[in-house]
Amino acid sequence: MLLQLPYISVQHDWHEAIADVACAHDKPTNSADTFWISAYGHGKGASIHTSVTVRKADSGHAGVELTGEGGMEVTLVNHKTIKISYPAQDISNVTVHAPRAAYKVTDSPTRIPKPINSIDVSPGGELFVVGGDAGDLKIGELDGGAIRRDLKGHFGDITTCRFFPSGQVILSGASDFQLRIWSALDGLNPVTLKGHRAASSRDGTIKLWECGKHGLHHCFVAPVACGGCSTFCTPGTFSPSFTVSLLLIHKGSAATISTLGNYATPVNKIAIGTVPSTLRGGGDVEVEVDSREVETEDKLLLAAVSDGSLRGIDLRSKAEVFATSAKSAASIACAYAPQWNLVVSGDAQGVINAWDLRDIRQYSTPGTIFELKPLVTFYRNEYPIQDVVISKDDKGAPVLFIATVDGAACQTSPLLSADPSSLRVTHEYSGFDMDPIANLRLLGKQGVVCAGRDGVMS
């Protein structure tokens, strides 16, 4: 069953209306402003577009009071947070967050910032890396947005960038068919990976790399997967310019160990985590592993493919161990949380599927399509899904963070509910005025970082 989640949309700069009224000291009693809110559901009267009036108040948070119209209930939590309910569409206590900070971090000869195509935040939360068009790749400080270093080398648009677990090494990919490894400390680029025949993974391949043989530059036991990129110790999602890379970082040349996939359509994102015993390719059969590989023996790679399927590959055997059926809408995003055996994919029509890997068994015949029934299938609206990240709520239950092409970033209620129809949007992260969000990153309890085509990181 396809579940449509009721949701709300709020004027992207609503918090400025609150700040303007709160700071109107010259008109302490008469000052007022408004911002708009829309609520979307299903059935008759499925949507409402209304406004909220902000007035000066003698008491209350920030010295203002909010009054919603048309049955919209709005409560001010603080000057950057409100709660919204619209009982007519079963929308209850959705928390809306305004950006705590917003930085224009890309260069532009005009006042309009260049688009941001990818971001990542260092494991410690101190630094960010941001990639834009025409090779624009920068390292900056998350607190304040100051740019520390420009990384020069790519001549195509940056499509993905990720930190290694040390926070001192960065992996980037671009439309120039290249992946580059950088030092975040001095900006050096000791290794460049070349091997794709088309921009990003448009050639449908996933590659396993050895990154150099001459002169050890940095060495990490934790391998890194790129397609975007993520470390195995922190499973994540990746953008299409990368293919899978297992890295001991050496200064010098790089070589392809293995090419996986070879799909007829592009690979859009990948995710990596521990492979369940039920999906180990080859079973107990001894598999010959290339001596250059590092920690591939227990890893599962997921690939979101443009034919609409989600593929699972055992990195030990290099065998595809499951695939969902192809469909008309391309699979764009995917995420894997081994601690819950939970896999999520998002497609070009806004539909998200969540599966339990324990429900999957490996192919009895290579190439067989496994008809796997999702735990839940849902959509917020029909805009393509740009990014999905699985995390946990305050009670330790898995929730999903979602970024979309219409500039929306949101968080759901727990995915593993006994009643899938109870799934709801619980948090909305505002600030993007219909500009596509490239991707999002989590800072633990500190918040969410997003960036997109408007050139602003929030």
Which residue ranges make up each domain of the chain?
2-97, 103-457
Q: Does an H or E element contain 21, and which? A: helix 14-22
Q: Is the pLDDT of residue 88 over 80?
A: yes
Contact 272/224 with Cβ under 8 angstroms? no
Tell me the per-residue pLDDT of 19-69, one tens digit each, with 9 for 90 and over. 988 887 655 556 789 999 999 987 655 789 999 999 987 766 668 899 999
Q: How far is CA 53 from CA 10, 20, 80, in A?
A: 13, 12, 16
- The mean pLDDT value for 399-424 works out to 93
pLDDT at position 308: 95
Q: Which CATH superfamily does the domain covering 103-457 fall into? A: YVTN repeat-like/Quinoprotein amine dehydrogenase (2.130.10.10)
Residue 367 pLDDT level (bands cut at 50, 70, 90): low
Between residues 63 and 387, the one the model is more confident about: 387
Tens of pLDDT, residues 187-219: 999 888 876 655 456 678 887 777 654 333 333
Whether the pLDDT of residue 441 is over 90: the answer is yes
pLDDT over 80 at 404, yes or no: yes
Query: How far is residue 388's CA from residue 343's CA, in Å, rounded to a whole number?
Result: 10
Selected residue with higher pLDDT from 453 and 144: 144
Contact (CB, 8 A) for 246 and 223: yes
* CA 355 – CA 342 distance, rounded (Å): 6
Average pLDDT over residues 126-134: 92
Of 103, 387, 365, 356, nearest in space to 230 by CA: 387
Lowest mean pLDDT among 62-71, 162-171, 358-367: 358-367
Average pLDDT, the chain: 81
Residue 225 has pLDDT above 70, yes or no: no
The answer to whether the beta carbons of residues 15 and 98 sit under 8 Å apart is yes
Burial of 28 (0-12, 13-18, 19+ CB in 10 A): exposed
Give the pLDDT confidence score for residue 112 in this predicted structure. 66
